[in-house]
Structure 1
Amino acid sequence: MTTTSRVPVTLVTRAAPGVEVRDLTVVYKTPLGELPALRGVSMIVEPGTITGIVGESGSGKSTLALSLLNAVQPPGRIAGGSVEIDGLGDVLTLGGEELRQARGRHLGYVFQAAQNSLNPLKTVGKQLLDLGRSHGVRDGRALVRDAMSLLERMGLDGARVLDSHQHQLSGGMRQRVGIMLALVLNAHLVILDEPTTALDMITQATILRIVREVHQERGLTTLMVTHDIGVAAEVTDRLAVMYGGRLVEHGPTREVLGAPRHPYTQGLIQAIPRLSGDITQARALPGRPPTLGTLPSAGCVFRERCPRRMDVCETDDPLAVAHGDRSVACHAVELPTPGVRVERATPAARVPSGAEEDHT
């Protein structure tokens, strides 16, 4: 990916941007001191792709997503690394008005709990106009027309929704409002944080269809944070698997799910309940995900739960090694895995603990 120098936000290109994350480290202040929620995360998001970020609760998915907007809030802070986005440069060097204008104009974010991103005291229409004014939109009527068009394409009555407060809308409707607000200023990098959480299956399918259609028609680069492997299998081109604040596997979705190489990715898929066949084939991952206080300071973060643990895992943090179009961070990845048979994930599959909210 070619990294562009930083330019005023009003002059950015409208082509789908690429993203390059380098050695990103995010820490949170705790009674035990500053502990890393992300440590040395590096990845490239190709322009025009949909990339899924999956992992159990506490793996660092949402922290990574917020870092792309330079939006990590205290007690967290970005302690190192860079986030280069085409047309903006390193987002971590932006601040003040420049950063505020980048959010919305260039970077769109759909929050995990849609109701938390809406003001309960204002109608959706008033919040839309506030958004436009804050970004210097002079033609409010055109903004409303664009918003209504987006809402109607998503199967909603645009006029009714804009005249409604959040409590008058269902969860699926609020989620679609969040997508509209993220797109109405023509942002071309869109981040969706658990866009289908707590939605019924029909509404979930509708949201995923909207994501695919809008991504293609508007020429977006999209990142989707999810616990749900089925969601990732349904809509993403590439998949990034996170554990304990590390990126452990990254590559084309079909390859990662069809032939996972990291023991954690294998464990996630093997834990998925089967809809047919021998249901006893599903095996839960042993142990529990680490917390900030239990993350090891050295060695592999997955070693306590890993069936292929070796002595080197105790002392050396595995580096991400490229294998064609994929990367895997595991000391044992080159060794054969006796008896492991991994099936392709089904659309109904979910990561264990998928109902939990990801606070990191």
Structure 2
Amino acid sequence: MPGLTPRDFSDIWAFVRVVDAGSFSEAARQMGTTKASISKAVARLEAALQVKLLNRSTRRIGLSEAGRDIHQHALRMVEEARAIESTAAGQQSGPGGTLRVSTSMAFGNAQLAALLPAFMARYPAVRVVLQLQDRYVDLVEEGIDVALRLSPKVDLMSAVARPVAPLNYVLAASPGYLEQYGVPADLAALHEHRCLTFGDSGPAGGWQFDVAGARLQFKPAAALAINSSQALREAMLGGAGIALLPTFVVGEDMRTGRAVHVLPALAPVGMFGTHVLAVYRENRFLPQKVRVFIDFVLEHFGEHPPWDAFLRRPASR
């Protein structure tokens, strides 16, 4: 018999959630993960115990005879773990331990990495592990404490998701490019310019704008397409053309004059959503290290992040 190991506790926790929730889908929603990962966890636990825990049908999930007995023991284990967590939360003098954070390559490089030294200085007992990746990250399977997600498709029911900063977008070009090719007067004039796009430029391969309550679409003939916001910024700064970029990537360039805000009356609709979201697993006793990190990010970003300062400048007369 393979037997249980300490790592199987997460599978026991998933088993209890499935029984309590009545379905794999609802358990996945409550734990902030996917139905497939919950199913794998229960399957691993059944393999370790060499018993069938659940009777599955197309309409319902029920406990097997062995599953009923094991569920009672598992439930007590989960309750004891929660009691330990509650005690630790009440007695811990300050945040500590390893904090695992995930975010996108562009946001991590442009904004988050520079913020971490100040966070670590304030909370020296917290060790930070920052993972940058441009893909969906399963918080449970990959052991992530908090993810700063930039996506229009974040399911707010799958975990706790807290907005920590708005996501704004602009059309940007270098002063040199505009000096050579001129400043476009309106959206139609962009047809005469070299446009730089992010990959396939999102839905239907076009740029979208909100103008006076209406949604306008413009399909650029991409002179250059790159699947990296940071690389797109470099090409724009080098004079390659006009790019649609998130302000967290290009805001500092706007502030210093390295880049120019093109057609500022337009409000581009970006492919990364409208907010940076701090996503973390639902937990009655949120660890101090997670709570202080989210508070710290809100303190430094918030409703008016520093990279959007150029948008708040008074118009010149």
Q: What's the TM-score bracket when you normalise by the shorter of the two chains?
A: under 0.3
- TM-score, normalisation: structure 1: 0.22
Give the helix-richer structure, 1 or 2. 2
User: Of the two, which has the highest radius of gyration?
Assistant: 2
- TM-score, normalisation: structure 2: 0.24
